[in-house]
Structure 1
Amino acid sequence: MKYPLFTKLGALAVIVLLLLIGLGLIEDVVRDRQRYRSMTAQSVADSLAGPQTLMGPMIHSACVESWDVETGKGEERRTVEQRREFLLTAMPEQLKVVTGAAMEERARGLHKVNTYNLKSHVTAQWGALTSLQPQSTMKGSRMNCGAPILMVAVGDARGIRTARVTLGEQALVLKPGTFHPTYTRGLHAGLPESVRGQATGLTATLDLELVGTERLAIVPIGGNTEVQMSSSWPHPSFSGQFLPSEREVTKAGFTARWRLSSLATTAQKDIADGKRVCVNSGGGGDDSSEYATGNATPRECAESFSVAFVDPVNPYTLADRATKYGVLFIALTFVAVGLFELMKKLRVHPVQYLLVGSALCSFFLLLVSLSEHLPFGISYGVAATACVLLLAYYASHMLGSLARGIPLGAGIALLYGLLYVLLQLEQTALAVGSIALFLVLAAVMVLTRKVNWYGLTSPAGTPRPPLPPREPPRVPPPHSGLATPTQPGRP
């Protein structure tokens, strides 16, 4: 081989390509397991209840306005009745929701899904119910309105366990459905006709027990809406159009409070216009329903806010994040082996590089398989320890001594420790990773600062050119008229 360095680099490039293909296959395995977990979540949602949306209470009344119109002339003259159907709604002026969510874990095979049991106490107050009085649009028309209905809509009615509504001191009889043309899932109670146009207003209270999967959304339809939510789940994800005005998240759970005014939200108008309530989860809903989970645009959706009970130690999510660092692991390990080869004048065969890279790739497959049966931290520790011991043992023979294999194994252990820290961090992962890469680059530059890179790229068998000899100091000739320098020890 005329240029051994270039030949070695070409072989390493092929090895890296093969290892990248292996990492890609491992990533496909992780995605398949993630897809199986999503199917499990959908199966639980189909059997129990999907993500829930709570909206209400509100009052509505369906009305029909009819009038007569004469058509034709002469003997063909006749009277035709025309009609207009519309819905009157009354949103509460004050809406207060106090709710607590108790988490319940459901499992299908190896996969676990977070479900919750929600217990809510809702208080709704209306002022004068003038919005329930129909206004005719045609002179001489006839107006016919159904009885006012108090309704509460939910995302998945199968999740309703118990419900009780009182109007003042009177308990109302609840029935399934809402009789609303858009938000059909929920419960309702009939109100007396006397409440229509009532000037003194109404106060209704709702005690509701509701179960759901992974996410809860609330629509702030009150003139002033106040929601207080608490749960023992320590990893909430707040989303939607409004974040909590106050929140406290600890290892023991979280408490959040929202305070919203109708001046800041269009939820009342959105619901009056019949817009869908959109949620960001795929379980328990479909694109054609009033609770959209597809690609609906914000203009098509009513404003809402939500809480997702996410699992930050989802092994498949963490394993997927870990495999993205696989290329970095291989590159840093190859750099470390190359430094040993360069600084200690060793020769490491490309096949040995391939075996080292294969051991690094096997770590990610071990991590995925073990985390399906053990906690993620234990799985990570077992997989990392096995790979570090294997690589340290192999490096001791590959590099010629135990004193060289142990430092390489310690460096790989440090990489695994850094990766675990990055997986646990969320907001500072980029900063920590970039600082670590900078330190590694600085160490490589310091260690190779005196390497003659031109000498490494010389053809095999070509001797290095000798250094030019130093010129002896010039001594002036004798009797030149110049004083000769005095020798040490002589005057």
Structure 2
Amino acid sequence: MTDTTDMPATGPWRQRWRGSGFEAAKRILFLSFLILAMMIPLGMVEGVVQERSARKMEVGAEVGEQWGPVQAVSGPVLVIPYDELEMRPNSDGTQALTRTRHFATFLPAETKIDAATKVEKRHKSIYEVLVYGAAIKMSGRFDAPDFARWNIPEAQVHWDEASLALLLPGARALLSIDLTVDGKGLAVDAGLLPQHPRGQGLRADLKLVAAKPIDFTIDLTLNGRDQLSLWPLGGQSEIAIASDWPHPNFIGSPLPKEREIRKDGFSGHWSINHLATGIPLAWRDGEFSLDTGVLNVVGVALTEPGDVHQQTDRIVKYGMLVVALTFGTIFVMGLLKRDRVHLVQYLLIGAAIALFYLLLLSLAEQMPFGFAYLIASLVDIAIVAIYAGATIRRAVGLLTGIVLAALHGYMYVLLQMESYALLSGTIGLLVILILTMVATRKVDWYAIGDEPGLVPVKTD
């Protein structure tokens, strides 16, 4: 017979009853559900960050409307009208000579552009926008316009109706311009005509007498924001940009041939041949269209390395990792100390972690990001550690606070990295996994939920 009365759980025929591990699986599934549920508040915080970032972009556009837009400037383009003669039949069977107006476009053989910008910070509400004032000096030379390549006699060319066109979409922020051709100043008018390249810009009438080389200089000053771009139009374009802003992002293709970045500013130099741009030096209407929407540009964007919204957004993306490791620390300590943590305790600790990111964003908009991160981290660590110590166990609160402090410190270090962020993050996760394995190496997962006491034994 079998007796299950009080008997010691020892002896060759006596074995302790153990669970099948269902309790461990249930706790782990419960923990996984809680971690996934935290995606909801973290997603809401990320939405707030993106909303504030979008608002900053709107403010930047508003300031741009008042100060100056993103600027792009080209060198001059020479446009000369000419007539094509053609015999056409009349209704009575006779033929008459007709003239059709066409236009030929020429680019400079050489163009040199020197641009210097002075960057300022403009504030609107709590947002900061980078703007600049630019002084641009252009010089170069047109070869003598050659109509012989198209078998057009010079007598059919309207030299006195020639004009220069300058592509400048942000002309409304132009402060001054001085155009000189062969040592003679020309009057500049607003807007481009249908025969000019498509886009917005300025023009000047150029009354030529015959085919000859043309030397030009253009000095202009304008306001802009965020970036300055230049279109390399010409046989050989030498472009130089200098600024007092130490955080450039060189844009377009190709990248500068030479560049120098200093604490007090930067400089860059491009040398571009028209063969690399795919733009011919001369064409007639219908043969080629100079469309600013598809032209390659070179230039520089003014980046702001301490942008609080970008950094906060990067930190929020690590939120699930912070939640998982914090909950995991409490879970493992509960296994080792045989503590049971209620759903409400997990949720309150998770809410404190989610509010850390919201507190960080609100503080970073008012002060330097480093100080904001330090204050928000200290508040978050204190809340979680004190609450866990008071409601679960003092050792749990202490260890959770240490883990959370290490995570916040590690996340901040990752923020400062660019090239090695992925490598450092992967190594960090590997170290965390190893520490978790070490901490749980003696946990009997099948015995979780069992209580020592009476167990069934087998007797004769």
TM-score calculated relative to the size of structure 2: 0.85
Distance 1:211 1:3, change over 3 A: same
Unaligned runs of 5+ in 2: 1-18
In the alignment, what sits opposite 1:265?
A: 277
Report if the CA contact (8 A) 2:77-2:105 is conserved.
Answer: yes
Report if the CA contact (8 A) 2:198-2:290 is conserved.
Answer: no
Distance 1:7 1:70, change over 3 A: same
Structure 1 residue aligned with 2:179, among 151, 156, 165?
A: 165
In the alignment, what sits opposite 1:382?
A: 375
In the alignment, what sits opposite 2:113?
A: 97
Structure 2 residue aligned with 1:36, among 43, 52, 55?
A: 55
Superposed CA offset, 1:235-270 (max 9, x none): 211222211111122332211111112232214469
Report if the CA contact (8 A) 1:219-1:267 is conserved.
Answer: no
1:240 equivalenced with 2:252 (yes/no): yes
Deviates more, 1:356-365 or 1:164-173: 164-173
Alignment of 1:386-405 (within 5 A): 386-401=379-394, 403-405=395-397
Secondary structure of 2:275 counterpart: coil
Distance 1:81 1:410, change over 3 A: farther
Structure 2 residue aligned with 1:188, among 168, 188, 203?
A: 203
In the alignment, what sits opposite 2:8?
A: none
Which fold has the larger relative contact order, with Cα–Cα distance below 8 Å and residues 6 or more apart in sequence?
Answer: 2
Secondary structure of 1:277 counterpart: coil
Structure 2 residue aligned with 1:431, among 423, 426, 439?
A: 423
Could you tell me the percent identity over the aligned residues? 30
Superposed CA offset, 1:364-395 (max 9, x none): 11122222222222222221111111112122
Cα shift at 1:233: 1.6
Structure 1 residue aligned with 2:360, among 367, 380, 400?
A: 367
Distance 1:146 1:408, change over 3 A: same
Secondary structure of 1:454 counterpart: helix
Distance 1:9 1:184, change over 3 A: closer
Report if the CA contact (8 A) 1:367-1:380 is conserved.
Answer: yes
Superposed CA offset, 1:369-422 (max 9, x none): 222222222222221111111112122224422x54333212211211111222
Cα shift at 1:142: 6.0
Deviates more, 1:419-428 or 1:431-440: 419-428
Distance 1:453 1:251, change over 3 A: farther
Tell me, in whole angstroms, the C-alpha distance in 2 between the residues paired with 1:86 and 1:395.
Answer: 83
1:221 equivalenced with 2:233 (yes/no): yes
Unaligned runs of 5+ in 1: 279-300, 467-491
Tell me, in whole angstroms, the C-alpha distance in 1 between the residues paired with 2:48 and 2:96.
Answer: 68
Distance 1:168 1:99, change over 3 A: same
1:63 equivalenced with 2:82 (yes/no): yes
RMSD between superposed Cα atoms in Å: 2.9
In the alignment, what sits opposite 2:435?
A: 443
Deviates more, 1:376-385 or 1:359-368: 376-385
Superposed CA offset, 1:271-313 (max 9, x none): 98334224xxxxxxxxxxxxxxxxxxxxxx1222231112222
1:343 equivalenced with 2:336 (yes/no): yes
Tell me, in whole angstroms, the C-alpha distance in 2 between the residues paired with 1:380 and 1:81.
Answer: 81
Alignment of 1:442-481 (within 5 A): 442-456=434-448
Tell me, in whole angstroms, the C-alpha distance in 1 between the residues paired with 2:451 and 2:102.
Answer: 91
Amino acid at match of 1:88: A
Distance 1:345 1:87, change over 3 A: same
Superposed CA offset, 1:423-462 (max 9, x none): 2222221111111111111111222223222333x66679
In the alignment, what sits opposite 2:326?
A: 333
1:324 equivalenced with 2:317 (yes/no): yes
Superposed CA offset, 1:300-349 (max 9, x none): x1222231112222222222221111111101111222222223333322
* Number of equivalent positions: 433
Secondary structure of 1:374 counterpart: coil
Superposed CA offset, 1:80-112 (max 9, x none): 776544322221122111111111223332222
Tell me, in whole angstroms, the C-alpha distance in 1 between the residues paired with 2:406 and 2:32.
Answer: 25
1:412 equivalenced with 2:400 (yes/no): no
In the alignment, what sits opposite 2:43?
A: 24
